[in-house]
Amino acid sequence: QASKVPFCKFHLGDRPIPVTFKRAIAALSFWQKVKLAWGLCFLSDPISKDDVEKCKQKDLLEQMMAEMIGEFPDLHRTIVSERDIYLTYMLKQAAKQIELPRASENEPRKYIPAVVVGVVGMGHVPGIEKNWNSDLKIQEIMSVPPPSTSSKIFKFVLKATVFGLLGYGCYRIGHRTVQFVLSMPATQSYLQRLTEVPQQ
């Protein structure tokens, strides 16, 4: 619909998901990652429409944010606070005055105010209001920190565990398959005939 409006531009103003995800993972300690993974594994309750409507209530949303800050402060910082800064920066860039085209270089520059409609999550509104009058720099929150030693160890242990379990599973399946094939009457009959050939 935005493309049908004259001079209207449509921008996706949120921080790229890969940057947010990598910064969130890098911000967590080893045990926080384990705790988060454990919680996500057992998060089996389906989300209903009533749950979504409840999240629109300001008091409940603030309570959920407070719980997240208490349990995973670094995760809240990367997923919410940093994105508040990024969204504010992008909205301010979009809200800059628009220069009108000039007939000649001698004509004075004229500007008109930009009309911006920002669609953001309810949880980001307080952060955008807080950061609006600040001098924002997004270079730092756009960088992905190198993996820590604990992250490297965790990845190595995880890969080793996965490959170890796969190898053990293949060995067990292969061993049982061989035993099953050898126990079949047709296989035993064939092997018996093979052993009888040299004797003849």
pLDDT in tens, 82-131: 999 999 999 999 888 888 888 888 888 888 888 888 889 888 999 999 99
Those residues with Cβ within 8 angstroms of residue 182's Cβ, 6 or more apart along the chain or in another chain: 188, 191
| Model confidence at 196: pLDDT above 80 | no
| Residues 126 and 48 grouped into a single domain | yes
Cross-strand bridge partners of residue 112: 98
| Residues 90 and 113 grouped into a single domain | yes
**Interval 117-143: pLDDT, tens:** 888 988 899 999 999 999 998 999 999
| Residues 40 and 139 grouped into a single domain | yes
**Interval 159-173: pLDDT, tens:** 888 888 888 888 888
Tell me if the pTM is above 0.85: no
| Residues 124 and 40 grouped into a single domain | yes
Domains contained in the chain, number: 2
| Model confidence at 198: pLDDT above 60 | no
| Residues 112 and 165 grouped into a single domain | no
Query: Where in the sequence is the domain holding 113, given as residue range(s)?
Result: 2-100+108-146
The whole-number pLDDT of residue 92 equals 93
The packing angle between helices 82-94 and 17-27, to 10°, is 150
| Residues 192 and 130 grouped into a single domain | no
Gap between the Cα atoms of 67 and 186, Å rounded: 66
The whole-number pLDDT of residue 47 equals 67
| Residues 139 and 50 grouped into a single domain | yes
| Residues 78 and 131 grouped into a single domain | yes
Averaged pLDDT, 59-71: 70
| Residues 138 and 168 grouped into a single domain | no
